[in-house]
Structure formats: C-alpha cells, structure tokens
Amino acid sequence: MANDPVERPSVATALGWLAIAWGSIGLLAMLYGARSLTSLGQLNSFQQAVAASVLLIVLLPLVAGIGVLKGTPWGWWILGFHSVMGIFRNAQACIFLLLRGEIAKPPAYNLEMACVRLVVFLALLAYWRSNDLRRWCKVETVSRRSALGFVCGAAALTVAAFTLWQWYGR
C-alpha cells in the first residue's frame, strides 16, 4: 500500500493551473511595466527593492503551481511560503488602510480587495495543510506545526530583508 501511486487531487490540479496562470499574468504585467527601462541602474535602491519583491511575488505562484502539479515536496513548500507571504502582505494592507481611514474613500479597490485577497490566502493556507495535498506532494511525514512555523519564519525574514533594503539601501 505504501508504494501505491497517489492520484492527484482535483483541487490540486485546479490550484496548480490557477497558480501558473496567475504567475504568468503577473510576469507579463511586470515585463510590460518595465519595458521603458534600459537597465536596473536607472532605479534607486528603494525602486530596486520594490522590483525584486514584485518579481518574487510574481514568480512564486508560477513555480509553486508547477511543483504542485508534479506533486513535488518543493512545490508544496513554495505554495506554503507564497500563502504566508500573501497573508502578511494583505493583512498589512488592511491594517494600513484602516489606520489611514481609507474605508469609505474611492477607489473601492483599497480595503475591500485587500480583505478579499487575505481571505483567499487564508483558504489557500488551509488547503496547503490538508492531507490530500500533503500526500500528493509526498510530505505527509512533515509535522504541520513545524512546516507552518518554518514558512512563517521564512516569510517574516523575507519581509524584514526587503524592508531593510528599502530603508538602508539608499
């Protein structure tokens, strides 16, 4: 039984393809936005840090989607990291917008979209912890608590590194 092939869960298939599509669209949008640059030397340190963080945000779902479709452990880990990064970013945006009093101001995108994305990333993290996906990606022996702690720590260090780069890289 231990060597029986595991069938890919349908949610993992849908999630993998959606992540690949999302990452591809983000990469195309980033390339379109950067078309006027002739070199990264035109950017100051703050702009370079923002560009690097956007590139990370864009590439994570693309790579995670490929890994989840293949059922690899690295795809599972990257998906977890991407989920936690999305939770951090959108929770930060919600708090920031609430503190600034952006609730009733147009455009409607601000608080509503950040909250919707926060809920989506929380749901993604919940599925990341599911037995079906863990079995498919061959990580069922990894402790859920340890894995969550690891990806939260890695995401927090990544956020701290980009923040320090923005503050002190000038």
Query: Where is average pLDDT lowest: 45-59, 113-127, 140-154?
Result: 45-59
Of 46, 56, 127, residue with least CA distance to 85: 56
Mean of the per-residue pLDDT values of the chain: 84
User: How far is Cα 52 from Cα 14, in angstroms, rounded to an integer?
Assistant: 28
What's the number of domains the chain is made of? 1
Residue 5 included in any domain:
no
Residue 3 included in any domain:
no
Residue 131 included in any domain:
yes
Query: Where is average pLDDT lowest: 54-68, 120-134, 136-150, 152-166?
Result: 152-166
> pLDDT band for position 1 (50/70/90)?
very low
Higher-pLDDT residue of 78 and 89 is 78
Domain around 62 = 10-168
Residue 2 included in any domain:
no
Of 89, 167, 80, 58, residue with least CA distance to 128: 80
Q: Kindly give, in sequence order, each residue whose CB lies less than 8 Å from that of residue 4, ignoring residues fewer than 6 positions away.
A: none
